[in-house]
């Protein structure tokens, strides 16, 4: 891990931050902004955009031409600093988002990837840096299948308990391992336990990421069995719903089995499975 070095993408993000007058170093200026706790609301702007048909971004591993989705990285604007995470996607009348946290784990991530591949759908994986560093091939497989890889910190700490410099290290190291392995920096960030604070929102935005929480918690981390997980997904299904599951952190065989049931169910019910675009939320 070259965690003490800046990757090219990180340099660009930091340059963009500097150009926009945003503090790009820990504890520098940005912390004194007012941050009255805002209402917990989903994204204000309509998410828009076609579901699941977004062109893949170029990746060094996909060997595709540089005509992918979105503006050139050097022209990307940083997201605004939110006061609440995005909970669901607006403007997705018939689409849902599946997310898997804490991995990758060689026991559970591969069968999840196989099921997603079987039905030709894209999902989001919020990976922990330490897991990603141990399983780079799985990270590469996610990227090659077109899934979005989000940042879930290095070792899954409770962020509000961390000082800003430690929080930055947790998030930035994870950005770096994702970019080193996949060739693309993450554009999405999810705080462990859904525990956000002002520093977490600020650092995520400075590093080019939007904060995504979830609409439906499958509670799969309690290992309730596949049937219970399926029941929760069915009960919570709806337009723009973001489903939280886990592909690591315990026995996730129930999560793996449940996906094999609820994914075809959702598709038969007319839902598309999509992933969001950072630029339209």
Where along the sequence are the contacts to Zn ion (CB under 5 A)? 101-102, 192
Judged by beta carbon, residue 13 or residue 203, the one nearer Zn ion is: 203
Task: Choose the catalytic residue: 92, 101, 105, 247.
Answer: 101
Q: Is 246 an active-site residue?
A: yes
Q: Where are the beta strands (DSSP E) in 77-129?
A: 95-101, 124-127
CB of 156 to Zn ion, least distance (A): 6
Judged by beta carbon, residue 102 or residue 172, the one nearer Zn ion is: 102
Task: Choose the catalytic residue: 92, 105, 246, 247.
Answer: 246
Name the nearest CA neighbour of 179 among 198, 206, 201, 207. 207
CB of 208 to Zn ion, least distance (A): 21
Q: What are phi and psi of 25, to 5 degrees?
A: -125, 155
115/111 Cα distance (integer angstroms): 6
Q: What phi-psi label fits residue 21: left (phi over 0), alpha (psi between -120 and 50 degrees) or beta?
A: left
Q: Is 101 an active-site residue?
A: yes
CB of 48 to Zn ion, least distance (A): 28
Name the nearest CA neighbour of 196 among 169, 160, 161. 160
CB of 248 to Zn ion, least distance (A): 9
Find the residue with minimal CB distance to Zn ion. Answer: 101
Cβ 213 vs Cβ 250: under 8 Å: no
Catalytic site residues?
101, 246
């Amino acid at each position: 891990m070259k965690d003490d070095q800046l990757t090219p993408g990180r340099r660009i993000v930091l340059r963009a931050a500097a150009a926009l007058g945003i503090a790009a170093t820990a504890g520098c200026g940005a912390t004194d902004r007012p941050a009255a706790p805002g209402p917990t609301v989903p994204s204000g702007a309509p998410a828009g955009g076609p579901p699941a048909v977004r062109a893949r971004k170029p990746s060094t591993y996909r060997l595709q031409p540089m005509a992918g989705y979105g503006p050139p990285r050097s022209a990307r604007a940083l997201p605004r600093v939110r006061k609440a995470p995005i909970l669901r996607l607006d403007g997705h009348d018939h689409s849902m988002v599946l997310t898997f946290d804490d991995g990758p784990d060689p026991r559970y991530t591969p069968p999840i990837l196989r099921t997603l591949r079987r039905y030709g759908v894209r999902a989001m994986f919020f990976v922990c840096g330490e897991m990603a560093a141990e399983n780079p091939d799985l990270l590469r497989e996610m990227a090659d299948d077109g899934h979005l890889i989000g940042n879930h910190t290095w070792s899954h700490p409770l962020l509000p308990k961390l000082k800003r410099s430690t929080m930055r290290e947790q998030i930035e190291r994870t950005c770096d391992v994702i970019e080193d392995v996949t060739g693309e920096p993450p554009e999405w960030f999810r705080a462990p336990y859904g525990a956000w604070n002002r520093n977490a929102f600020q650092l995520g935005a400075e590093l080019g990421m939007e904060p995504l929480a979830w609409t439906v918690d499958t509670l799969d981390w309690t290992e309730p069995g596949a049937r219970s997980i399926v029941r929760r997904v069915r009960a919570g299904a709806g337009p723009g719903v973001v489903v939280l599951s886990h592909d690591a952190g315990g026995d996730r065989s129930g999560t793996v089995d449940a996906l094999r049931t609820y994914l075809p169910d959702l598709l038969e019910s007319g839902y598309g499975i999509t992933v969001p675009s950072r630029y339209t939320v």
